Protein backbone atom coordinates (compact mmCIF):
# COMPACT_ATOMS: atom_id res chain seq x y z
CA UNK A 1 0.00 0.00 0.00
CA UNK A 2 1.36 3.39 -0.95
CA UNK A 3 2.06 5.88 1.82
CA UNK A 4 1.34 9.61 1.50
CA UNK A 5 4.83 10.93 1.44
CA UNK A 6 6.28 13.76 -0.57
CA UNK A 7 8.52 11.30 -2.30
CA UNK A 8 5.60 9.32 -3.83
CA UNK A 9 4.35 11.31 -6.91
CA UNK A 10 2.07 8.55 -8.20
CA UNK A 11 0.00 8.67 -5.06
CA UNK A 12 -0.31 12.48 -5.19
CA UNK A 13 -1.32 12.30 -8.81
CA UNK A 14 -4.14 9.86 -8.08
CA UNK A 15 -5.37 12.09 -5.26
CA UNK A 16 -5.52 15.15 -7.52
CA UNK A 17 -7.38 13.20 -10.20
CA UNK A 18 -9.95 11.97 -7.68
CA UNK A 19 -10.61 15.48 -6.41
CA UNK A 20 -11.02 16.91 -9.95
CA UNK A 21 -13.48 14.16 -10.89
CA UNK A 22 -15.53 14.86 -7.80
CA UNK A 23 -15.57 18.60 -8.60
CA UNK A 24 -16.68 18.07 -12.23
CA UNK A 25 -19.45 15.75 -11.14
CA UNK A 26 -20.72 18.34 -8.65
CA UNK A 27 -20.67 21.10 -11.26
CA UNK A 28 -22.49 18.92 -13.78
CA UNK A 29 -25.19 18.14 -11.17
CA UNK A 30 -25.66 21.83 -10.36
CA UNK A 31 -25.84 22.77 -14.06
CA UNK A 32 -28.43 20.11 -14.75
CA UNK A 33 -30.52 21.35 -11.85
CA UNK A 34 -30.35 24.94 -13.00
CA UNK A 35 -31.26 23.93 -16.55
CA UNK A 36 -34.15 21.84 -15.37
CA UNK A 37 -35.40 24.72 -13.22
CA UNK A 38 -35.19 27.05 -16.18
CA UNK A 39 -37.17 24.66 -18.36
CA UNK A 40 -39.77 24.19 -15.66
CA UNK A 41 -40.10 27.93 -15.23
CA UNK A 42 -40.55 28.52 -18.98
CA UNK A 43 -42.97 25.70 -19.15
CA UNK A 44 -45.15 27.25 -16.45
CA UNK A 45 -45.06 30.99 -17.29
CA UNK A 46 -43.78 31.24 -20.89
CA UNK A 47 -45.88 32.72 -23.71
CA UNK A 48 -45.49 29.59 -25.81
CA UNK A 49 -48.13 27.76 -23.83
CA UNK A 50 -50.41 30.72 -23.06
CA UNK A 51 -53.22 31.85 -25.40
CA UNK A 52 -55.14 35.08 -24.78
CA UNK A 53 -58.76 35.33 -25.79
CA UNK A 54 -59.09 38.35 -28.18
CA UNK A 55 -62.65 37.70 -29.25
CA UNK A 56 -63.74 40.95 -27.57
CA UNK A 57 -61.22 43.10 -29.59
CA UNK A 58 -62.76 45.24 -32.32
CA UNK A 59 -60.93 45.76 -35.68
CA UNK A 60 -59.77 49.29 -36.55
CA UNK A 61 -61.60 51.06 -39.35
CA UNK A 62 -60.28 53.89 -41.55
CA UNK A 63 -62.81 56.72 -41.23
CA UNK A 64 -64.17 58.71 -44.14
CA UNK A 65 -61.86 61.53 -45.23
CA UNK A 66 -62.65 64.75 -43.39
CA UNK A 67 -61.99 68.21 -44.78
CA UNK A 68 -60.27 70.20 -42.04
CA UNK A 69 -58.74 72.80 -44.33
CA UNK A 70 -57.58 76.12 -42.97
CA UNK A 71 -57.22 77.46 -46.50
CA UNK A 72 -53.63 76.29 -47.00
CA UNK A 73 -54.58 73.05 -48.74
CA UNK A 74 -56.85 74.80 -51.23
CA UNK A 75 -54.14 77.28 -52.10
CA UNK A 76 -51.58 74.48 -52.49
CA UNK A 77 -53.92 72.62 -54.87
CA UNK A 78 -54.52 75.79 -56.84
CA UNK A 79 -50.90 76.91 -57.18
CA UNK A 80 -49.04 73.58 -57.10
CA UNK A 81 -49.60 72.48 -60.72
CA UNK A 82 -47.96 75.68 -62.00
CA UNK A 83 -44.81 75.29 -59.87
CA UNK A 84 -42.01 73.48 -61.69
CA UNK A 85 -38.73 71.80 -60.85
CA UNK A 86 -35.68 73.03 -62.77
CA UNK A 87 -32.55 71.00 -63.48
CA UNK A 88 -29.52 72.51 -65.16
CA UNK A 89 -26.30 71.04 -66.49
CA UNK A 90 -23.02 72.74 -67.25
CA UNK A 91 -20.29 71.07 -69.24
CA UNK A 92 -16.90 71.00 -67.48
CA UNK A 93 -14.85 74.15 -67.71
CA UNK A 94 -11.28 74.75 -66.77
CA UNK A 95 -11.23 76.65 -63.49
CA UNK A 96 -8.95 79.67 -63.33
CA UNK A 97 -9.63 80.59 -59.72
CA UNK A 98 -7.72 79.02 -56.88
CA UNK A 99 -8.91 78.35 -53.37
CA UNK A 100 -12.63 78.05 -54.09
CA UNK A 101 -14.73 76.82 -51.17
CA UNK A 102 -17.15 73.94 -51.53
CA UNK A 103 -20.49 73.97 -49.70
CA UNK A 104 -20.04 72.57 -46.23
CA UNK A 105 -16.32 73.36 -46.15
CA UNK A 106 -15.47 75.97 -43.54
CA UNK A 107 -13.81 79.14 -44.82
CA UNK A 108 -10.25 79.88 -43.84
CA UNK A 109 -9.54 81.85 -40.70
CA UNK A 110 -10.77 85.42 -40.96
CA UNK A 111 -13.49 84.54 -43.48
CA UNK A 112 -16.29 83.58 -41.11
CA UNK A 113 -18.67 86.31 -42.19
CA UNK A 114 -20.43 84.03 -44.68
CA UNK A 115 -23.87 84.12 -43.10
CA UNK A 116 -25.34 84.93 -46.51
CA UNK A 117 -23.76 81.79 -47.98
CA UNK A 118 -23.71 81.77 -51.75
CA UNK A 119 -26.13 84.69 -51.90
CA UNK A 120 -27.15 84.87 -55.58
CA UNK A 121 -24.41 82.32 -56.21
CA UNK A 122 -25.84 78.83 -56.60
CA UNK A 123 -26.79 78.25 -52.94
CA UNK A 124 -30.33 77.38 -53.90
CA UNK A 125 -29.46 75.99 -57.27
CA UNK A 126 -26.83 73.47 -56.17
CA UNK A 127 -27.82 71.50 -53.06
CA UNK A 128 -25.78 68.55 -54.23
CA UNK A 129 -22.42 70.24 -53.83
CA UNK A 130 -19.78 71.56 -56.16
CA UNK A 131 -17.81 74.77 -56.05
CA UNK A 132 -19.20 78.25 -56.54
CA UNK A 133 -19.03 77.97 -60.30
CA UNK A 134 -20.46 74.47 -60.39
CA UNK A 135 -17.14 73.22 -61.78
CA UNK A 136 -16.58 69.59 -60.89
CA UNK A 137 -13.65 69.02 -63.20
CA UNK A 138 -14.38 66.14 -65.58
CA UNK A 139 -18.03 65.65 -64.58
CA UNK A 140 -21.14 67.68 -65.27
CA UNK A 141 -22.91 69.81 -62.69
CA UNK A 142 -26.61 69.23 -62.12
CA UNK A 143 -28.31 72.01 -60.19
CA UNK A 144 -31.81 72.03 -58.77
CA UNK A 145 -34.14 74.98 -58.47
CA UNK A 146 -37.77 75.98 -58.83
CA UNK A 147 -39.89 78.21 -61.04
CA UNK A 148 -43.50 79.04 -61.77
CA UNK A 149 -45.48 79.25 -65.01
CA UNK A 150 -46.96 82.69 -65.65
CA UNK A 151 -48.17 82.11 -69.20
CA UNK A 152 -49.98 78.97 -70.36
CA UNK A 153 -47.83 78.99 -73.52
CA UNK A 154 -44.87 77.84 -71.41
CA UNK A 155 -43.24 81.02 -70.07
CA UNK A 156 -41.65 80.46 -66.67
CA UNK A 157 -40.14 82.86 -64.14
CA UNK A 158 -37.21 81.77 -61.97
CA UNK A 159 -34.01 83.17 -60.48
CA UNK A 160 -31.12 84.10 -62.72
CA UNK A 161 -28.70 82.24 -60.44
CA UNK A 162 -30.67 79.02 -61.06
CA UNK A 163 -29.99 79.05 -64.82
CA UNK A 164 -26.88 81.23 -65.03
CA UNK A 165 -24.03 79.61 -67.00
CA UNK A 166 -26.12 76.50 -67.68
CA UNK A 167 -25.52 74.64 -70.94
CA UNK A 168 -28.73 72.64 -70.61
CA UNK A 169 -31.93 73.49 -68.76
CA UNK A 170 -34.71 71.01 -68.06
CA UNK A 171 -38.12 71.73 -66.58
CA UNK A 172 -40.28 69.10 -64.92
CA UNK A 173 -43.98 69.69 -64.30
CA UNK A 174 -45.91 68.14 -61.43
CA UNK A 175 -47.67 65.88 -63.94
CA UNK A 176 -44.46 64.63 -65.55
CA UNK A 177 -43.27 61.11 -64.60
CA UNK A 178 -40.53 60.62 -62.02
CA UNK A 179 -37.47 58.41 -62.31
CA UNK A 180 -35.62 56.93 -65.26
CA UNK A 181 -33.01 58.41 -67.60
CA UNK A 182 -35.62 59.82 -69.98
CA UNK A 183 -37.56 61.78 -67.38
CA UNK A 184 -35.08 64.53 -66.57
CA UNK A 185 -37.60 67.06 -67.87
CA UNK A 186 -38.52 69.19 -70.84
CA UNK A 187 -35.80 71.25 -72.54
CA UNK A 188 -36.08 74.96 -71.80
CA UNK A 189 -34.72 78.05 -73.54
CA UNK A 190 -33.59 81.23 -71.79
CA UNK A 191 -35.65 84.18 -73.00
CA UNK A 192 -33.81 86.81 -70.97
CA UNK A 193 -32.12 87.48 -67.64
CA UNK A 194 -31.63 90.45 -65.35
CA UNK A 195 -28.72 90.11 -62.95
CA UNK A 196 -29.60 93.28 -61.03
CA UNK A 197 -32.81 91.69 -59.72
CA UNK A 198 -31.71 88.05 -60.15
CA UNK A 199 -34.73 87.34 -62.36
CA UNK A 200 -34.79 85.07 -65.42
CA UNK A 201 -37.47 84.09 -67.92
CA UNK A 202 -37.30 80.68 -69.59
CA UNK A 203 -39.69 78.89 -71.92
CA UNK A 204 -40.67 75.30 -72.66
CA UNK A 205 -42.54 74.10 -75.75
CA UNK A 206 -46.03 72.74 -75.22
CA UNK A 207 -48.81 71.48 -77.45
CA UNK A 208 -51.53 72.36 -74.95
CA UNK A 209 -52.14 75.18 -72.44
CA UNK A 210 -50.28 74.73 -69.17
CA UNK A 211 -51.51 75.69 -65.68
CA UNK A 212 -50.31 79.13 -64.60
CA UNK A 213 -50.24 81.19 -61.42
CA UNK A 214 -52.02 84.44 -60.69
CA UNK A 215 -49.76 87.37 -59.87
CA UNK A 216 -50.79 89.64 -57.02
CA UNK A 217 -49.86 93.17 -55.96
CA UNK A 218 -46.98 92.91 -53.50
CA UNK A 219 -47.67 96.42 -52.20
CA UNK A 220 -50.82 95.04 -50.58
CA UNK A 221 -48.90 92.52 -48.44
CA UNK A 222 -48.69 93.49 -44.78
CA UNK A 223 -46.32 92.42 -42.04
CA UNK A 224 -47.98 89.52 -40.25
CA UNK A 225 -49.92 88.21 -43.28
CA UNK A 226 -49.89 84.45 -43.83
CA UNK A 227 -47.89 83.28 -46.86
CA UNK A 228 -46.93 79.94 -48.41
CA UNK A 229 -43.59 79.10 -50.03
CA UNK A 230 -43.82 76.45 -52.76
CA UNK A 231 -40.89 74.79 -54.50
CA UNK A 232 -38.43 71.90 -54.61
CA UNK A 233 -36.14 72.08 -51.56
CA UNK A 234 -33.34 69.53 -51.90
CA UNK A 235 -35.07 68.28 -55.05
CA UNK A 236 -38.30 67.36 -53.24
CA UNK A 237 -40.85 68.78 -55.67
CA UNK A 238 -44.21 70.28 -54.70
CA UNK A 239 -43.12 71.08 -51.15
CA UNK A 240 -45.26 73.64 -49.30
CA UNK A 241 -44.22 75.54 -46.18
CA UNK A 242 -46.17 78.21 -44.29
CA UNK A 243 -45.14 81.37 -42.49
CA UNK A 244 -45.84 85.07 -42.31
CA UNK A 245 -44.52 88.24 -43.87
CA UNK A 246 -41.81 89.28 -41.42
CA UNK A 247 -40.80 92.57 -43.04
CA UNK A 248 -41.06 94.51 -46.29
CA UNK A 249 -38.74 96.59 -48.41
CA UNK A 250 -35.72 94.79 -46.97
CA UNK A 251 -32.36 95.62 -48.55
CA UNK A 252 -29.32 93.36 -48.51
CA UNK A 253 -26.05 94.92 -49.59
CA UNK A 254 -24.15 92.50 -51.81
CA UNK A 255 -21.65 94.49 -53.91
CA UNK A 256 -20.71 93.35 -57.39
CA UNK A 257 -17.05 92.78 -58.34
CA UNK A 258 -16.93 96.39 -59.54
CA UNK A 259 -17.98 97.59 -56.08
CA UNK A 260 -21.39 98.79 -57.25
CA UNK A 261 -24.16 97.67 -54.92
CA UNK A 262 -27.02 95.75 -56.51
CA UNK A 263 -29.35 96.47 -53.59
CA UNK A 264 -30.80 99.52 -55.35
CA UNK A 265 -33.09 97.19 -57.29
CA UNK A 266 -33.46 94.50 -54.63
CA UNK A 267 -36.15 95.35 -52.10
CA UNK A 268 -37.22 92.05 -50.61
CA UNK A 269 -40.19 90.69 -48.74
CA UNK A 270 -38.81 88.95 -45.66
CA UNK A 271 -40.62 85.81 -44.49
CA UNK A 272 -40.21 83.03 -41.93
CA UNK A 273 -41.78 80.44 -44.24
CA UNK A 274 -39.19 77.67 -44.52
CA UNK A 275 -36.99 78.21 -47.60
CA UNK A 276 -34.14 75.80 -48.31
CA UNK A 277 -31.72 74.98 -51.15
CA UNK A 278 -33.83 74.19 -54.21
CA UNK A 279 -36.65 76.58 -53.24
CA UNK A 280 -34.99 79.37 -55.18
CA UNK A 281 -37.21 80.61 -57.99
CA UNK A 282 -40.39 79.25 -56.41
CA UNK A 283 -43.41 81.44 -55.60
CA UNK A 284 -44.38 83.10 -52.33
CA UNK A 285 -48.18 82.99 -52.26
CA UNK A 286 -50.69 84.98 -50.20
CA UNK A 287 -53.97 83.69 -48.79
CA UNK A 288 -55.81 84.75 -51.94
CA UNK A 289 -53.73 82.24 -53.91
CA UNK A 290 -51.81 85.01 -55.67
CA UNK A 291 -48.04 85.13 -56.10
CA UNK A 292 -46.65 88.18 -54.29
CA UNK A 293 -42.98 87.24 -54.50
CA UNK A 294 -40.29 84.85 -55.72
CA UNK A 295 -38.16 83.04 -53.14
CA UNK A 296 -34.60 84.15 -53.74
CA UNK A 297 -32.29 83.90 -50.73
CA UNK A 298 -32.00 83.11 -47.04
CA UNK A 299 -29.93 84.28 -44.11
CA UNK A 300 -28.35 81.18 -42.59
CA UNK A 301 -25.50 79.88 -40.50
CA UNK A 302 -26.38 76.21 -41.04
CA UNK A 303 -26.90 75.90 -44.83
CA UNK A 304 -30.61 75.48 -44.10
CA UNK A 305 -33.66 77.53 -43.20
CA UNK A 306 -33.48 79.51 -39.98
CA UNK A 307 -36.68 81.46 -40.49
CA UNK A 308 -35.16 84.41 -42.35
CA UNK A 309 -35.97 84.18 -46.06
CA UNK A 310 -36.19 86.80 -48.78
CA UNK A 311 -38.53 86.98 -51.77
CA UNK A 312 -38.42 89.40 -54.71
CA UNK A 313 -41.74 91.33 -54.75
CA UNK A 314 -44.15 90.56 -57.57
CA UNK A 315 -44.41 94.21 -58.63
CA UNK A 316 -40.70 94.23 -59.47
CA UNK A 317 -41.01 90.84 -61.17
CA UNK A 318 -43.78 92.08 -63.46
CA UNK A 319 -41.78 95.07 -64.69
CA UNK A 320 -38.67 92.98 -65.33
CA UNK A 321 -40.66 90.19 -67.01
CA UNK A 322 -42.33 92.61 -69.42
CA UNK A 323 -38.91 93.91 -70.46
CA UNK A 324 -37.38 90.46 -70.87
CA UNK A 325 -40.14 89.21 -73.17
CA UNK A 326 -39.80 92.35 -75.30
CA UNK A 327 -37.95 92.48 -78.64
CA UNK A 328 -34.54 93.10 -77.05
CA UNK A 329 -34.98 90.50 -74.27
CA UNK A 330 -33.20 92.67 -71.73
CA UNK A 331 -33.87 95.34 -69.12
CA UNK A 332 -32.62 98.82 -69.96
CA UNK A 333 -32.48 101.21 -67.01
CA UNK A 334 -31.83 104.90 -67.08
CA UNK A 335 -28.85 106.55 -65.41
CA UNK A 336 -27.37 110.02 -65.10
CA UNK A 337 -23.87 108.75 -64.26
CA UNK A 338 -23.38 109.50 -60.60
CA UNK A 339 -22.75 107.56 -57.41
CA UNK A 340 -23.75 108.57 -53.91
CA UNK A 341 -23.72 107.42 -50.32
CA UNK A 342 -26.93 105.54 -49.60
CA UNK A 343 -27.36 106.62 -45.98
CA UNK A 344 -26.27 109.81 -44.27
CA UNK A 345 -26.35 111.06 -40.71
CA UNK A 346 -28.78 113.89 -39.99
CA UNK A 347 -25.75 115.89 -38.92
CA UNK A 348 -24.52 115.86 -42.51
CA UNK A 349 -27.79 117.39 -43.69
CA UNK A 350 -27.63 120.10 -41.06
CA UNK A 351 -24.03 120.89 -41.92
CA UNK A 352 -24.71 121.19 -45.66
CA UNK A 353 -28.08 122.83 -45.31
CA UNK A 354 -30.56 120.25 -46.63
CA UNK A 355 -33.18 117.91 -45.16
CA UNK A 356 -33.93 115.67 -48.11
CA UNK A 357 -31.62 114.90 -50.99
CA UNK A 358 -28.52 113.10 -52.19
CA UNK A 359 -24.90 114.20 -52.03
CA UNK A 360 -23.04 113.30 -55.21
CA UNK A 361 -19.91 111.24 -54.50
CA UNK A 362 -18.54 110.61 -58.00
CA UNK A 363 -19.46 111.65 -61.52
CA UNK A 364 -18.84 109.46 -64.56
CA UNK A 365 -17.05 111.57 -67.20
CA UNK A 366 -19.18 110.19 -70.04
CA UNK A 367 -22.50 110.38 -68.17
CA UNK A 368 -25.28 112.91 -68.52
CA UNK A 369 -24.63 114.51 -65.12
CA UNK A 370 -21.02 115.34 -66.00
CA UNK A 371 -22.05 116.84 -69.33
CA UNK A 372 -24.65 118.98 -67.53
CA UNK A 373 -22.05 120.32 -65.08
CA UNK A 374 -22.95 118.28 -61.97
CA UNK A 375 -19.93 117.95 -59.66
CA UNK A 376 -19.00 115.81 -56.64
CA UNK A 377 -20.30 117.51 -53.49
CA UNK A 378 -23.47 118.82 -55.17
CA UNK A 379 -26.70 117.95 -53.38
CA UNK A 380 -29.51 116.79 -55.70
CA UNK A 381 -32.80 117.80 -54.10
CA UNK A 382 -35.45 117.56 -56.85
CA UNK A 383 -36.40 115.90 -60.15
CA UNK A 384 -38.59 117.88 -62.53
CA UNK A 385 -39.63 120.07 -59.62
CA UNK A 386 -40.52 117.17 -57.29
CA UNK A 387 -38.53 116.93 -54.07
CA UNK A 388 -36.73 113.63 -53.66
CA UNK A 389 -36.58 111.82 -50.34
CA UNK A 390 -33.37 109.85 -50.59
CA UNK A 391 -31.12 107.85 -52.90
CA UNK A 392 -33.68 105.10 -53.45
CA UNK A 393 -36.20 107.67 -54.58
CA UNK A 394 -33.68 109.15 -57.02
CA UNK A 395 -32.66 105.76 -58.45
CA UNK A 396 -36.23 104.52 -58.85
CA UNK A 397 -37.22 107.65 -60.74
CA UNK A 398 -34.18 107.84 -63.00
CA UNK A 399 -33.96 104.13 -63.77
CA UNK A 400 -37.58 104.05 -64.95
CA UNK A 401 -37.00 106.79 -67.52
CA UNK A 402 -36.31 106.09 -71.16
CA UNK A 403 -32.74 106.33 -72.41
CA UNK A 404 -32.24 109.45 -74.51
CA UNK A 405 -34.77 111.63 -72.67
CA UNK A 406 -33.82 114.52 -70.38
CA UNK A 407 -34.69 115.36 -66.80
CA UNK A 408 -34.49 118.67 -64.90
CA UNK A 409 -32.47 118.27 -61.71
CA UNK A 410 -32.51 120.77 -58.86
CA UNK A 411 -29.31 120.78 -56.82
CA UNK A 412 -27.47 122.77 -54.17
CA UNK A 413 -23.89 123.95 -54.54
CA UNK A 414 -22.32 125.98 -51.75
CA UNK A 415 -25.81 126.49 -50.36
CA UNK A 416 -27.15 128.01 -53.59
CA UNK A 417 -30.02 126.56 -55.61
CA UNK A 418 -29.25 125.51 -59.18
CA UNK A 419 -30.94 123.54 -61.96
CA UNK A 420 -29.59 121.49 -64.85
CA UNK A 421 -31.09 119.55 -67.75
CA UNK A 422 -29.50 116.09 -67.65
CA UNK A 423 -29.66 113.44 -70.39
CA UNK A 424 -30.65 109.92 -69.38
CA UNK A 425 -28.13 107.24 -70.40
CA UNK A 426 -27.99 103.44 -70.30
CA UNK A 427 -27.19 102.25 -66.79
CA UNK A 428 -25.25 99.22 -68.06
CA UNK A 429 -22.86 101.41 -70.01
CA UNK A 430 -22.60 103.88 -67.16
CA UNK A 431 -21.54 101.28 -64.63
CA UNK A 432 -19.18 99.68 -67.11
CA UNK A 433 -17.46 103.08 -67.24
CA UNK A 434 -17.42 103.33 -63.42
CA UNK A 435 -15.79 99.91 -63.23
CA UNK A 436 -13.25 100.87 -65.87
CA UNK A 437 -14.66 98.31 -68.29
CA UNK A 438 -15.94 99.52 -71.63
CA UNK A 439 -16.55 96.07 -73.07
CA UNK A 440 -19.81 96.26 -74.98
CA UNK A 441 -20.51 92.62 -74.12
CA UNK A 442 -21.47 93.76 -70.60
CA UNK A 443 -24.36 95.74 -72.04
CA UNK A 444 -26.28 92.66 -73.13
CA UNK A 445 -25.07 89.63 -71.18
CA UNK A 446 -27.94 87.40 -72.25
CA UNK A 447 -27.04 87.94 -75.93
CA UNK A 448 -23.28 87.55 -75.60
CA UNK A 449 -23.78 84.45 -73.47
CA UNK A 450 -26.11 82.79 -76.00
CA UNK A 451 -23.27 81.38 -78.06
CA UNK A 452 -21.47 80.18 -74.94
CA UNK A 453 -24.47 78.44 -73.40
CA UNK A 454 -25.97 76.94 -76.56
CA UNK A 455 -22.97 76.39 -78.81
CA UNK A 456 -20.00 76.47 -76.47
CA UNK A 457 -18.08 79.18 -78.32
CA UNK A 458 -17.17 82.83 -77.97
CA UNK A 459 -16.69 85.04 -81.00
CA UNK A 460 -15.43 88.50 -81.89
CA UNK A 461 -15.22 90.77 -84.89
CA UNK A 462 -12.75 89.72 -87.57
CA UNK A 463 -9.41 91.49 -86.86
CA UNK A 464 -8.17 93.75 -89.70
CA UNK A 465 -5.06 91.63 -90.18
CA UNK A 466 -7.14 88.47 -90.62
CA UNK A 467 -9.57 90.27 -92.94
CA UNK A 468 -6.66 91.45 -95.07
CA UNK A 469 -5.12 87.98 -95.17
CA UNK A 470 -8.30 86.09 -95.98
CA UNK A 471 -10.18 88.71 -97.93
CA UNK A 472 -13.19 88.19 -95.63
CA UNK A 473 -14.34 91.27 -93.76
CA UNK A 474 -17.92 90.28 -92.84
CA UNK A 475 -18.60 87.63 -90.25
CA UNK A 476 -17.22 86.66 -86.83
CA UNK A 477 -14.16 84.72 -85.76
CA UNK A 478 -14.25 81.97 -83.11
CA UNK A 479 -12.03 82.99 -80.19
CA UNK A 480 -12.66 80.04 -77.89
CA UNK A 481 -14.28 76.57 -77.99
CA UNK A 482 -15.30 74.91 -74.74
CA UNK A 483 -14.25 71.24 -74.51
CA UNK A 484 -17.19 68.85 -74.69
CA UNK A 485 -19.56 71.48 -76.06
CA UNK A 486 -21.78 71.25 -79.15
CA UNK A 487 -19.22 73.23 -81.19
CA UNK A 488 -16.43 70.93 -80.04
CA UNK A 489 -18.42 67.84 -81.03
CA UNK A 490 -18.96 69.11 -84.60
CA UNK A 491 -15.27 70.09 -84.89
CA UNK A 492 -15.72 73.85 -84.93
CA UNK A 493 -12.25 75.07 -83.96
CA UNK A 494 -10.72 78.26 -82.64
CA UNK A 495 -9.80 80.72 -85.38
CA UNK A 496 -12.60 79.65 -87.70
CA UNK A 497 -14.51 82.45 -89.45
CA UNK A 498 -18.31 82.07 -89.47
CA UNK A 499 -20.13 83.80 -92.31
CA UNK A 500 -23.49 82.04 -92.25
CA UNK A 501 -25.73 80.08 -89.85
CA UNK A 502 -28.72 78.14 -91.14
CA UNK A 503 -28.65 80.03 -94.46
CA UNK A 504 -28.73 83.38 -92.63
CA UNK A 505 -25.78 85.71 -93.25
CA UNK A 506 -23.53 86.55 -90.30
CA UNK A 507 -22.10 89.99 -90.98
CA UNK A 508 -21.07 91.05 -87.48
CA UNK A 509 -21.47 90.18 -83.79
CA UNK A 510 -24.99 91.62 -83.61
CA UNK A 511 -26.31 89.45 -86.44
CA UNK A 512 -24.54 86.42 -84.96
CA UNK A 513 -26.18 86.96 -81.55
CA UNK A 514 -29.60 87.48 -83.11
CA UNK A 515 -29.41 84.17 -84.96
CA UNK A 516 -27.99 82.18 -82.04
CA UNK A 517 -30.47 83.59 -79.53
CA UNK A 518 -33.34 82.19 -81.62
CA UNK A 519 -31.89 78.67 -81.69
CA UNK A 520 -33.69 76.02 -79.65
CA UNK A 521 -32.95 72.54 -78.40
CA UNK A 522 -33.22 69.86 -81.12
CA UNK A 523 -32.69 72.45 -83.89
CA UNK A 524 -30.34 71.56 -86.73
CA UNK A 525 -27.51 74.09 -86.88
CA UNK A 526 -25.30 74.40 -89.97
CA UNK A 527 -22.38 76.84 -90.21
CA UNK A 528 -20.69 78.16 -93.29
CA UNK A 529 -17.09 78.62 -92.19
CA UNK A 530 -13.68 79.60 -93.57
CA UNK A 531 -10.18 78.89 -92.36
CA UNK A 532 -8.00 81.98 -91.89
CA UNK A 533 -5.08 79.93 -93.25
CA UNK A 534 -6.63 79.72 -96.68
CA UNK A 535 -6.89 82.98 -98.56
CA UNK A 536 -9.81 83.02 -100.96
CA UNK A 537 -10.67 79.42 -100.05
CA UNK A 538 -14.12 78.02 -100.65
CA UNK A 539 -16.92 77.51 -98.17
CA UNK A 540 -16.86 74.70 -95.63
CA UNK A 541 -20.00 73.39 -93.95
CA UNK A 542 -20.17 71.99 -90.42
CA UNK A 543 -23.28 71.26 -88.42
CA UNK A 544 -25.24 69.08 -86.07
CA UNK A 545 -28.38 68.94 -83.92
CA UNK A 546 -28.47 70.94 -80.71
CA UNK A 547 -28.93 68.75 -77.62
Task: Enumerate the active-site residues.
Answer: 161, 198, 280
Pairing of strands 83-90, 540-545: unpaired
Pairing of strands 338-340, 497-501: unpaired
For residues 252 and 265, what is the distance between their CA atoms, to the nearest angstrom?
10
For residues 134 and 143, what is the distance between their CA atoms, to the nearest angstrom?
8
Q: Is 525 exposed, middle or buried (0-12, 13-18, 19+ CB in 10 A)?
A: buried
Bridge partners (DSSP) of residue 423 are: 406
Q: Is 301 exposed, middle or buried (0-12, 13-18, 19+ CB in 10 A)?
A: exposed
For residues 148 and 294, what is the distance between their CA atoms, to the nearest angstrom?
9
For residues 216 and 288, what is the distance between their CA atoms, to the nearest angstrom?
9
CA distances from 109 to 112, 113, 240, 450 (A): 7, 10, 38, 39
- Asked if 242 and 228 count as a contact pair (C-beta separation under 8 A), the reply is yes
Please compute Rg for the chain using Cα positions: 36
- Report DSSP letters for 373-395, one per residue: T--TT-EEEEETTEEP-SHHHHH
- Asked if 396 and 315 count as a contact pair (C-beta separation under 8 A), the reply is no
Bridge partners (DSSP) of residue 91 are: none
Main-chain dihedrals φ then ψ at residue 291, nearest 5 degrees = -80, 120
Bridge partners (DSSP) of residue 476 are: 461, 498
Among 305, 243, 289, 288, which Cα is nearest to 269's? 243
Amino acid sequence: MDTPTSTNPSWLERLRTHRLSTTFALLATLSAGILAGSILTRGVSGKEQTRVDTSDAKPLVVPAAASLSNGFSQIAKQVGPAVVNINTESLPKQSTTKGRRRPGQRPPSGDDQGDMQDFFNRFFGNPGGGDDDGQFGPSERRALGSGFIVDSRGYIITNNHVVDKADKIYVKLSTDPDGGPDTEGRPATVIGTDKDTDIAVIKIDTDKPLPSVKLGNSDGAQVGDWVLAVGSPFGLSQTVSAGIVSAKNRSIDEPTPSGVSQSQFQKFIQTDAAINPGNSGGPLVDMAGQVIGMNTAIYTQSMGSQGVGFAMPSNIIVNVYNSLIGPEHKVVRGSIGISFQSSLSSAVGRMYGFKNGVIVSTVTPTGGAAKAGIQPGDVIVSIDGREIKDGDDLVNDISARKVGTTVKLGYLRDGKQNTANVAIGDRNKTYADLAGNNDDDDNSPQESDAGQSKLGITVSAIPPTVAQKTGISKGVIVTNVRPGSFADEINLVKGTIITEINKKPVTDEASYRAIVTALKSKDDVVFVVHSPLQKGGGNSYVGGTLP
